[in-house]
Amino acid sequence: MKFLIRDRVFGVGEDFWVEDETGQKVFLVDGKALRIRQTFELKTREGEVVAVIRRKLMSVHDSMVVERGGERIATVHKKHFTLFRDQLKVDHESGGEWTVRGDLLDKEYGIEGVDGPVALISRKWFRVRDTYAVDIVDGYDVPLVLAVAVCVDALTEDKHDD
**Per-domain residue ranges of the chain:** 2-161
* Of 71, 77, 68, nearest in space to 151 by CA: 77
- CATH code matching the domain that covers 2-161, chosen among 3.40.50.1950, 3.40.50.1970, 3.40.50.1000, 3.20.90.10: 3.20.90.10
Mean pLDDT of the chain: 84
Give CA–CA dist 19/32, Å, rounded.
20
CB 100 within 8 A of CB 85: no
pLDDT the model gives residue 115: 93
pLDDT digits (tens, 9 = 90+) for 10-47: 555 678 889 998 989 999 998 876 556 688 999 999 99
> Taking every pair of C-alpha atoms in the chain, what is the biggest distance, in angstroms?
43
pLDDT the model gives residue 34: 55
9 DSSP β-pair partners:
none
Give CA–CA dist 101/17, Å, rounded.
25
Q: Summarize the confidence of residues 51-79 as an average pLDDT.
A: 87
DSSP per position, 38-64: -EEEEEETT--EEEEEEEPSS-SS-EE
What does pTM read for this prediction? 0.87
